[in-house]
């Protein structure tokens, strides 16, 4: 790490001599300015910090702390008020513009009135120990004054586990010319956290009530700043235990691009790390949500539920469910069977009787606006938009295929029936790719005199033939779709033949001077043809949309269309083995944008590979 002399101040921020280069993977930002004054100054503070830290930025709130005094500052509790909750929302909202940063506001010293105790002098472990500590505190002469930095470093290491060679920087962000307008300093933060159950208007300075136990739920895919607001408010309110429900199984089916959702275990891992980082004193019960109510609807020990604007009505439904579903008062225990679940375990000793459970106090959080969303994305910060942005990106390293002719790069294009492979293949052809259509190869294989013709007729009989002797593919299809045994007989004959024809087409592509070849094949992975390609590109659409397209295109019944899909790998199974994912769910113009993005990124990969070899 650079020593402290490296930071001698010569020009305005972010930090002297560092320019725009981020040199630390993790950092701790200690904010000392009073919240009302701090809020409008956040953008330049976060921008300055982001120039120094490139992965995880922890934020510690200690308004009013003086790093320039003779005494070493000590951590002190910060009263949890609605102003504090609003500031947390404000900070995460601003941090959303810095998407390379994983920002985490630490909550250990933020305490509700019911638990307002001195902060004990214990050091909190962090998942990513800070390599640098930053602050908005300013000296009168605007310098990197060593005694102040020493105070800052001692304060940071007294609170959190930091790297042994901790660096420190006084940020001095560029707030623009002149002082900020008084009205902007005194303007209240936008209301972000309310308690609908209370008809009394709350003031920013109003203390937040603490509860022993509460709940919050969501999908928590690709944990983002809107999730962090929801979770942080729940962590501030809870004093002992927080139940976090994570949507799984049937609750995921209606999600946009569900094939790109992170697996449940991965979402839980990211969630656990964040929660333990921000408030390790809590006990966290992270459980799968398999129905809209989850533990919040049935656990009598819970006192509050944090919801978003979108899920507030669901919170009201949870309360109705609690009131209407009468059960004996009893113990609810967490049992483990691979995943956590909740089970009612009967009346508590000496506490029989019947009655509905008390309503939960509902805390509603406003949605964060996504300032950089594209035309077909939601205007809120959401995982759905993040999944859309993944479309066209490389998801895993390409396959090494030394057996393929040098200079030719092969893509396998696949997707469930009706996904739109032909239209995407045509777009790739327009961009310069050589297209190998496996359906056309199949027609050649099935044609009289073709390499698969006689073996198929011998296996399935002459009643699959037209009067002119050609194979009736609709009749043949009716024999094999939905019949695994018959399908295997057919594929064992046809797939090796089509693979041989595809290799001949690849040689032809090389002869024509093509550098990118695309094998368009619905059964690419089932046939094992991924061994012939460098990358698998999969097109995904909802199954309901696929059925609609098949019925419209092929004139089949819905049942026949569903039977066809059931004989193929699901979109989820295809994505698990894919390098690039696309979707034709939206307007054709959006599909074109995805294909162009994927093609441009591919060309960059090919250029980089070529440069490496040379």
For residue 34 the two structure tokens come to 């009073």
pLDDT at position 348, please?
A: 34
pLDDT at position 563, please?
A: 86
Residues 415, 525: Cα–Cα separation, whole Å: 10
For residue 483 the two structure tokens come to 């019949």
pLDDT at position 326, please?
A: 57
Residues 95, 240: Cα–Cα separation, whole Å: 29
pLDDT at position 115, please?
A: 61
| DSSP-assigned letter for residue 250 | G
For residue 372 the two structure tokens come to 């950089």
User: 447-483, pLDDT tens digit by residue?
Assistant: 999 999 999 999 999 999 999 999 998 899 888 877 8
In the chain, the percentage of residues whose pLDDT exceeds 90 is: 70
The DSSP result for 286-328, as a single string, is EEEE-SSSGGGGT-TT--EEEEETTTHHHHHHHHHHHHHS-EE
User: 512-569, pLDDT tens digit by residue?
Assistant: 999 999 999 999 999 999 999 999 999 999 999 999 999 999 999 999 999 889 888 9
Residues 203, 511: Cα–Cα separation, whole Å: 75
Higher model confidence: residue 381 or residue 393? 393
Contact 27, 57 (CB under 8 A): yes
Contact 86, 189 (CB under 8 A): yes
Residues 373, 390: Cα–Cα separation, whole Å: 14
| DSSP-assigned letter for residue 556 | -
Least confident window among 6-20, 109-123, 360-374, 463-477: 6-20
Q: Which residues, listed in sequence order, are joined to residue 243 by a DSSP beta bridge?
A: 215, 285
pLDDT band at 70 (very low <50, low <70, confident <90, very high): confident
pLDDT band at 231 (very low <50, low <70, confident <90, very high): very high
Residues 524, 275: Cα–Cα separation, whole Å: 42
Q: Which residues of 597-609 are buried (b: 16+ CB within 10 A; e: fewer)?
A: bbbeebeeeeeee
Contact 278, 234 (CB under 8 A): no
| DSSP-assigned letter for residue 39 | G
* For range 407-417, the mean pLDDT: 96
Q: Sheet containing 211-218: which strands, arranged edge to edge?
A: 193-194, 361-365, 304-308, 211-218, 238-247, 283-289
pLDDT band at 390 (very low <50, low <70, confident <90, very high): very high
pLDDT at position 193, please?
A: 52
β strands within 139-250, DSSP E: 167-170, 193-194, 211-218, 238-247
User: 257-281, pLDDT tens digit by residue?
Assistant: 999 999 999 999 999 999 999 999 9
pLDDT band at 329 (very low <50, low <70, confident <90, very high): very low
pLDDT at position 116, please?
A: 52
Q: What's the alpha-carbon Rg for the chain, to the nearest Å?
A: 30
pLDDT band at 118 (very low <50, low <70, confident <90, very high): low
- Chain centroid, CA 143 distance in Å: 40
Q: Is the pLDDT of residue 190 over 70?
A: no
| Mean pLDDT for all residues in the chain | 86
Residues 232, 85: Cα–Cα separation, whole Å: 8
User: 75-114, pLDDT tens digit by residue?
Assistant: 889 999 999 999 999 999 999 888 889 999 999 999 997 6
Question: ω into residue 14 within 30 of 0, thus cis?
Answer: yes
pLDDT band at 119 (very low <50, low <70, confident <90, very high): low
Least confident window among 37-41, 298-302, 313-317: 37-41
Q: Is the pLDDT of residue 195 over 60?
A: no
Q: Is the pLDDT of residue 409 over 80?
A: yes
* For range 482-498, the mean pLDDT: 93
* For range 426-445, the mean pLDDT: 96
pLDDT at position 308, please?
A: 93
């Amino acid at each position: 790490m650079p020593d402290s002399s490296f930071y001698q101040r010569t020009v305005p921020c972010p930090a002297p001599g560092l320019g725009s280069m981020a040199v630390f993977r993790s950092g701790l930002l200690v904010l000392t300015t009073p919240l009302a004054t701090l809020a409008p100054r956040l953008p330049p503070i976060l921008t300055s910090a982001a120039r120094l830290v490139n992965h995880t930025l922890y934020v510690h709130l200690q308004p009013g702390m003086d790093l320039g005094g003779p005494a070493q500052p000590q951590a002190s509790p910060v009263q949890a008020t609605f102003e504090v909750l609003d500031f947390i929302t404000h900070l995460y909202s601003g941090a959303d513009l810095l998407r390379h940063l994983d920002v985490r506001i630490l909550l250990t010293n933020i305490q509700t009135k019911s638990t307002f105790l001195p902060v004990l002098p214990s050091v909190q472990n962090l998942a990513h120990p800070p390599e640098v500590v930053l602050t908005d505190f300013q000296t009168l002469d605007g310098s990197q004054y060593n005694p102040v930095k020493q105070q800052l470093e001692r304060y940071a290491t007294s609170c959190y586990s930091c790297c042994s060679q901790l660096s420190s920087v006084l940020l001095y962000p560029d707030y623009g010319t002149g002082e900020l307008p008084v009205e902007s300093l005194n303007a209240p933060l936008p209301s972000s956290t309310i308690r609908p159950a209370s008809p009394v208007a709350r003031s920013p300075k109003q203390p937040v009530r603490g509860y022993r136990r509460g709940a919050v739920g969501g999908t928590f895919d690709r944990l983002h700043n809107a999730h962090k607001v929801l979770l942080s408010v729940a962590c501030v309110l809870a004093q002992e235990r927080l139940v976090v429900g994570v949507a799984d199984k049937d609750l995921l089916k209606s999600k946009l691009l569900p094939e790109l959702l992170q697996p449940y275990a991965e979402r839980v891992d990211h969630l656990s790390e964040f929660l333990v980082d921000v408030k390790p004193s809590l006990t966290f019960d992270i459980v799968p949500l398999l129905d809209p109510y989850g533990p919040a609807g049935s656990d009598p020990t819970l006192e509050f539920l944090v919801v978003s604007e979108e899920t507030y009505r669901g919170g009201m439904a949870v309360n109705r469910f609690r009131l209407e579903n009468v059960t004996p008062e009893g113990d609810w225990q967490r049992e483990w069977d691979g995943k956590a679940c909740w089970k009612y375990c009967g009346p508590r000793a000496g506490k029989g009787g019947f009655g509905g459970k008390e309503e939960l106090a509902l805390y509603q959080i406003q949605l964060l606006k996504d300032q950089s969303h594209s035309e077909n994305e939601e205007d809120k910060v959401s995982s759905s938009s993040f999944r859309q942005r993944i479309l066209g990106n490389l998801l895993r390293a390409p396959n090494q295929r030394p057996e393929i002719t040098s200079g030719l790069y092969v893509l396998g294009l696949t997707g469930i029936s009706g996904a739109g492979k032909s239209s995407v293949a045509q777009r790739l052809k327009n961009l310069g790719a050589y297209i190998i259509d496996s359906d056309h190869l199949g027609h050649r294989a099935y044609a009289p005199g073709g390499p698969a013709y006689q073996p198929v007729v011998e296996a399935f009989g002459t009643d699959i033939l037209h009067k002119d002797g050609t194979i009736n593919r609709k009749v043949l299809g009716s024999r094999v779709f939905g019949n695994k045994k018959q399908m295997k007989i057919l594929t064992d004959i046809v797939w090796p033949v089509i693979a041989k024809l595809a290799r001949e087409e690849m040689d032809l592509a090389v002869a024509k001077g093509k550098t990118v070849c695309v094998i368009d094949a619905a059964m690419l992975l089932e046939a094992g043809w991924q061994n012939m390609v460098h990358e698998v590109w999969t097109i995904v659409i909802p199954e309901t949309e696929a059925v609609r397209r098949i019925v419209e295109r092929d004139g089949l019944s819905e049942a026949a269309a569903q039977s066809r899909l059931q004989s193929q790998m699901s979109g989820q199974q295809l994505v698990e083995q894919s390098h690039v994912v696309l979707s034709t769910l939206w307007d054709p113009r959006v599909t074109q944008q995805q294909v162009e993005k994927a093609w441009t990124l591919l060309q960059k990969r090919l250029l980089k590979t070529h440069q490496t070899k040379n």
